Chain A
Amino acid sequence: MTELLIKNGFVFDPINGINGEKMDIAVKNGKIVKSVNERKAKVIDATGLTVMPGGVDIHTHIAGAEVNTGRLMRPEDHVKDVVRKTALTRSGVGYSVPSTFVTGYRYSKMGYTMIMNPSMPPLEAKHTHEELNDTPMLDKATYPLLGDWWFVLEYLRKGDLTECARYVAWMIATTKGYAIKIVNPGGLESWGFGRNVRTIDDQVPYFGITPRDIMCGLAKVNKMLNLPHTIHVHTNNLGLPGNYLTTLDTMRALESVATGDKPVAHITHLQFSSFAGNDWGTMRSGAEEITKYINAHNHLTFDMGQVIFTDTTTMTADGPFEFTLYELSGHKWVNSDVETETSGGIIPFHYKRNNAVNATQWSIALELALLVKDPWKMFLTTDHPNGGPFFAYPKIIAWLISKRARMATLKKCHKKAQKLSLLPSIKREFTLYDIAIVTRAGQAKALGLKDKGHLGVGADADIAIYDINPEKIDIAKKYKAVRRAFGSAAYTIKDGEIVVKDGEIVKHVDGRTIWLDVKTAEQVKVDEEMKRRFKEYWTVEYDNYPVFDHYVKVSCPLTIKADV
């Protein structure tokens, strides 16, 4: 295996408290080591460059049934962005729902090395894994949707947390997943008959359980199983004016599960859950109230769900929300409910600056990011492709590091949104250290990925090098240069190999699929009774349900010992 020495770069490694110090990073056998033989090793001269751990994305829809239906439905999205085959890389299409290969290449070109695919219907888990196998350059993991799974609803209603935990453990290992994903808890089951839940204390029809029970129950289960990540929550009432109250209720409800300062839940794409106002006409930002709460409590992390002004494709397991969007827009609409488990929907969407609601959404995400004092609680995402395509991340970085950048965009926005926006009153500008937290270190920490997101000895040698000289330029002023640099990494190093140089792929690697093999003391009994129940609930046989080992190209199981 090659040895690598990255010399003299400005290193930003927040987990190890390194803030822009000039230092060398040594790599051997795909891991960060103390030192290497300088004469033998390949040397990268990083003088005047910024060195960070490889980027980690905690929430990006890049693979699986939903994403693929989005691809199928949007040929008009593909034609404007085509990618040629080269000697090294496969061809494909890009923009809001890129083909799998292009997804891998584009993330890698931005210095990302690990992504989390957040919504996998367990029944269609094989599909997700097949696509992840065809997503090169990255390590990846995926979250099964468990919040409306009948088994969970039934055991939680019975109050049998232990049994619930066993089944959740079984499901995560069976679908080769990584975390418990909850989407509009209770709402998706209600959507089976075209209904929804409106508060966290509404009853789910036929199941006698409330969203509050589901979230708190699964948060407890998550603890019992010692999962590395927290529950990953998409709140009720997402995308509707006034929903910040539901979000506050949700966060307060989860307080009951919290102990100490450890987070117990990740609220994903928080922007979509932070609308104040009574209807679309009076819709405004609820970021102030939300961040006030988050600043005063330590049991939560969240990601932004930044909106980008462009044409994109919204897709979520929140079927009823996509139906609302359909009613609003009349656009082409896909709904896809999955038996016993979840639902889903897709609608193309164009976020426009001169639309007051869209512009306010853009502002809310930035307000959330800037008003939360502790950057370790907040992560940069667009909820790709819901808020916008992931390749717009450098734009968000520019808005975060530079008041000038965000004011330049705000000036072009709808007048009403400008007037309501809190951005003019916010002075805060992120440093590169903050950026390193919100784009890699914080995400890796929240995910419990011990070998990712930092450059300490023993970490995976996933490294990004950007052409930014923090000594020479004032990033807040030269935000455009910073934006360019983050869009096209000088080097991306994956497992100790240079895979991107000057923004071009120089080596094709597969990347691993990380999943949890959760071991409970007593495992789920697979007997005839279980198989019969299985047959009743699903239309496939028990034997054909699991994601078998050969469905994962490069398998990387993490064994977790549960408390039950």
Chain B
Amino acid sequence: MVVVKSVTCPICGSLCDDIELTIENNEVVKVKNGCALCESKFLGYKGEHRIKTPLIRKDGKLMPVSLDEAIHKAAEILANANYPILYGWSSTSCEAQRIGVELAEEIGGVIDNTAVVCHGPSILSVQEVGIPTCTLGQIRHRADLIIYWGCDPWSAHPRHLERYTAFTEGRFEKSDWKGYIQKVKAAAGKKKIESAVRRGVVKRPKAQPMLQHELVNAPPPTLMKEGRKLIVVDARKSMTAEMADYFIQVEPNKDYEVMQAIRALIRDQELDVDKVGGVPVEYLEEVADAMVNCNFGVIFFGMGLTQTAGKFRNIEVAISLIRDLNKRTKFVIMPMRGHFNVTGANVVFTWQSGYPYGVDFSLGYPRYNPGETTCMDILLRGESDATLVIAADPGATFPRRAVEHMAKTPLIVIDPHMNATAMLGDVVIPSAFVGIESEGTAYRMDHVPLPLKKVVDPPKGLLSDEEILRRILEEVRAIKAKKMREAEAA
């Protein structure tokens, strides 16, 4: 039995690196410090969906083959393709991503990562207006106003609050964990009383849940609180909103208006309307007031902002709000990146090619034009003639028409699991789990690089993504050199 400390968890963009794993007989048997997501991955990665051997589609069926055969076949497809797409990359290591870019360049293809369907709009906004941001520790030490907008860390980044924001102890700001416990206790007490009322112990009319129209008519609660304040803005009352000091429920797709209204308010402009995006102006005034009066504020935003109406314009206005606020106080903003190394993919693509995603090498140099050189658009236009998918599952998440084109053309899948995309694949190469069975590097949502550990050996015969890609690249070069020789001979 071995205990491995300081393991980085390969799940979400929080990249908690304090996980303790107990290993017995080359298997993880105990997880300490991790959240539910973390535990389920470390304890469940060996499940029934694991692909055990390389597969190639023969007569419509995926048949087991040797690794060499699968790699040769994959290389052949890529070397012969005219406009291939290499997609995925967000759940693998930077080392694998580096080889990915080299491979894309070698075959004149397009390399794109899953940011295109999550925080791609955020990147477009950064290219428009920049981004005032910081690492997560700055927030832990200094932030006295924390705003989550269009995201639900309690469910998607479960330890975010506890490690980096409201419930963590910083040098200048104290943890609000106690306040939260009190709140939970109060809520439990309230429930007990209500249940007593229901059971007829106390005769009183039943308390109705507050409806939207009542909320509007009720006087706005004030945000009177010492120390750290937690505000949640969302279209629904999420788990995170439950524990917030202040919650604003925005009508779906109205974030842009609300954000602009706050921008006006912090510039001391009067609003002529009573409500914006379904929210009474008094609520927004309260938030604007908290923003201007904090010492260090932060907005975290998620898919609720990037993928709703307005898309990158939402982020642009959010960042513009932060730019304005910095003239009054210190304020930063940060996207809640999802996959554990989606940030790394953007980082690696950028240092090698200058561009963060949707990089097209078909002209021999990197080109970037989201909407034209991005994976989804190419698939929908039916232009690609081969696809390599690694560490992602577009087969399950892309629109049908895009998946249809992907399935029609040769499809190579590198993944530990038999996911929807792998089922459509023509060549399927199983890989070791990075961060469990192979090592590497990943970038946290705030661009802090962290090492991923190898804690157990992979199943026999399985290579890491990095190794598989390196072998494909070598094979592609060999095939191209052979072709060249043949052409010269002819």
B353 touches A99 (CB 8 A): yes
Residue of B nearest to A347 (CB): B130
- Select the stretch in B132-140, B180-188, B216-224, B390-398 that faces chain A: B132-140
Given the interface pairs A193-B296, A335-B133, A539-B136, the reply to whether A75 lies near B355 with Cβ below 8 Å is yes
A127 touches B347 (CB 8 A): yes
Residue of A nearest to B8 (CB): A544
List of B residues within 8 angstroms of A541 by Cβ: 5-6, 17-18
List of B residues within 8 angstroms of A333 by Cβ: 129-130, 132, 323
Contact indicator per residue, chain A 34-71, by CB within 8 Å of chain B (1) or not (0): 00000000000000000000000000000101001101
List of A residues within 8 angstroms of B140 by Cβ: 339, 539
List of A residues within 8 angstroms of B443 by Cβ: 127
- Complex Cα distance, B140 from A337, in Å, reads 13
- A134, A194, A331, A551: the one within 8 Å of B351 (CB): A134
Say yes or no for B378: interface residue by CB 8 A criterion.
Answer: no
A364 CB to nearest chain B CB (Å):
28
A130 touches B105 (CB 8 A): no
Say yes or no for A84: interface residue by CB 8 A criterion.
Answer: yes
Interface centre among B102, B123, B365 (most CB of A within 10 A): B365
Say yes or no for B405: interface residue by CB 8 A criterion.
Answer: no
A508 CB to nearest chain B CB (Å):
13
B450 touches A544 (CB 8 A): yes
- Complex Cα distance, B335 from A205, in Å, reads 29
List residues 163-182 of chain B with CB under 8 A from any CB of chain A: 163-164, 169, 171-172
- Complex Cα distance, B135 from A338, in Å, reads 5
- B94, B105, B130, B295: the one within 8 Å of A85 (CB): B105
A540 touches B448 (CB 8 A): yes
Specify the main secondary structure of chain A where it touches its partner: mixed
A184 CB to nearest chain B CB (Å):
16
Say yes or no for B424: interface residue by CB 8 A criterion.
Answer: no
List residues 102-140 of chain B with CB under 8 A from any CB of chain A: 102, 105, 123, 126-138, 140
List of A residues within 8 angstroms of B352 by Cβ: 90, 92, 99-101, 134
B130 touches A91 (CB 8 A): no
- Complex Cα distance, B441 from A124, in Å, reads 12
Interface centre among B8, B94, B138, B351 (most CB of A within 10 A): B351
- Complex Cα distance, B15 from A123, in Å, reads 15
Say yes or no for A93: interface residue by CB 8 A criterion.
Answer: yes
- Complex Cα distance, B134 from A62, in Å, reads 21
Residue of A nearest to B331 (CB): A194
A124 touches B355 (CB 8 A): no
Q: How many residues of B contact A (CB 8 A)?
A: 61
Say yes or no for B41: interface residue by CB 8 A criterion.
Answer: no
B347 touches A339 (CB 8 A): no
Residue of A nearest to B443 (CB): A127
Say yes or no for B329: interface residue by CB 8 A criterion.
Answer: yes
List of B residues within 8 angstroms of A543 by Cβ: 5-6
B132 touches A335 (CB 8 A): yes
Say yes or no for A415: interface residue by CB 8 A criterion.
Answer: no
A73 touches B323 (CB 8 A): no
A6 CB to nearest chain B CB (Å):
34
Specify the main secondary structure of chain B where it touches its partner: mixed
List of B residues within 8 angstroms of A85 by Cβ: 105, 361, 364-365
Say yes or no for A326: interface residue by CB 8 A criterion.
Answer: yes
- Complex Cα distance, B425 from A561, in Å, reads 58
B98 CB to nearest chain A CB (Å):
7
- Complex Cα distance, B329 from A134, in Å, reads 39
Given the interface pairs A71-B350, A544-B451, the reply to whether A337 lies near B135 with Cβ below 8 Å is yes
- Complex Cα distance, B473 from A206, in Å, reads 54
B464 CB to nearest chain A CB (Å):
14
- Complex Cα distance, B134 from A192, in Å, reads 9
Contact indicator per residue, chain A 527-543, by CB within 8 Å of chain B (1) or not (0): 00000000011111111
Say yes or no for B259: interface residue by CB 8 A criterion.
Answer: no
B134 touches A82 (CB 8 A): no
List residues 93-128 of chain A with CB under 8 A from any CB of chain B: 93, 97-101, 123-124, 126-127
- A82, A99, A123, A206: the one within 8 Å of B448 (CB): A123
Say yes or no for B327: interface residue by CB 8 A criterion.
Answer: yes
- B98, B137, B350: the one within 8 Å of A539 (CB): B137
Given the interface pairs A192-B142, A336-B133, A340-B137, the reply to whether A544 lies near B6 with Cβ below 8 Å is yes
- B94, B355, B364, B448: the one within 8 Å of A84 (CB): B364
B6 touches A206 (CB 8 A): no
Residue of A nearest to B106 (CB): A85
- Complex Cα distance, B137 from A78, in Å, reads 32
Residue of B nearest to A127 (CB): B449
Interface centre among A323, A333, A335 (most CB of B within 10 A): A335
A133 CB to nearest chain B CB (Å):
9
- A68, A101, A126, A336: the one within 8 Å of B441 (CB): A126
- Complex Cα distance, B5 from A97, in Å, reads 39
Say yes or no for B366: interface residue by CB 8 A criterion.
Answer: yes
What are 30 of the A-B contact pairs (CB < 8 Å)?
A: A68-B350, A71-B350, A72-B346, A73-B130, A78-B354, A82-B365, A82-B366, A84-B364, A85-B364, A85-B365, A90-B105, A91-B365, A91-B366, A124-B447, A124-B449, A126-B441, A127-B447, A127-B449, A130-B351, A192-B138, A192-B142, A332-B127, A334-B133, A335-B326, A335-B332, A336-B447, A337-B133, A343-B134, A539-B164, A542-B6
